[in-house]
Structure 1
């Protein structure tokens, strides 16, 4: 276990899976977390065999503060020196306006996108204090820069990620921990399927007429950010498909 260690939340699909794959490909040992234990263990087995590196599957729900604490605190000693933490776990649910909003959707987004990020960071940082070139990367969104119709609570949670990233950059500066936010625009992952609660037709329409970002695009961007020299920190990266100008303006064929 003399390789550097990265921890990636929400690694069972989408950005998280692509990011975990990239770290494994580069020879890192990776802690992968998520709610879907079966997927996590399958990914861990695949990556360890393909890339001859160590992958530690750590299933938990970031919304459960006690489960987060227990999982991270109880990591085996050889896994405790986390050099890079990627706070990727997050989701959007529903596109209702506030006056017709689903309270359960609101709670799910707030608990995952804001509280979950805080819980993981709170306990992971304890393992990062002695790591060389420690770095936290928070996956934000263009929705954390601009509000769009029907985005309300999701946008609010991503605005919170933006604020928390800035707070971490200030508060972790004495610890020597760099902090980066990556804010993607439209990316074709499970995101829209989750947002529209499994409605394939609605999800597909989101990506019609243009080339959306891929999960691999985000993984490549993140890898670039975390491999800058120790004196360099890319604070905030906004990345969108060339066909997208902002949260609500697209050029479609």
Structure 2
């Protein structure tokens, strides 16, 4: 049996201003609008609104609903889930999602597996190796340090970092799950480890993203990655074919 995880990413080629996005605010429900208004920095408003446009647009198309019908609730650690209780329609197969953002990149994973997490990082930045003892186990640190070239160290560092965060998000606990309490594979783009399937890819040069999905029995997990243009997202012309 196969289970497909669909990953979508969108990149803002230039910095967006919240005023440019003002016509899209109506996609937010009342609580989301309060959150949006509480942000004092313009870039945080843009980050929040683009994320909601991406998730609600994709989930809405997946379920055959308007994006404005999509509502969320958060668990005790802040992870968002689709609130099917708020829907009058009968949903035969629930969809789970996870969202991540870094600089001008947004990534979203859609899955029928509840424990699905994704993280993206701007990996062109120099990695701060000094933080490794607080987040990486000894064997993970060794995997980074054994790389001779700086580029190799950076790649392994961010592969480990994004996979750690993806697992913490998949389990719905964030950093409440200590990163030193579990290990992730340091090598390979598509790897199955104890309990999780991992897929790491670069949506654009300078970014690295990882998906972590809980393994369910003997089911084989496959990944499909698609780009969404910012213009498509803002005009509502994204054609979801999954």
TM > 0.5 = no
Please give the TM-score of this superposition, normalised by the length of structure 2.
Answer: 0.30
Please give the TM-score of this superposition, normalised by the length of structure 1.
Answer: 0.29
Which protein is richer in helix relative to its size?
Answer: 1
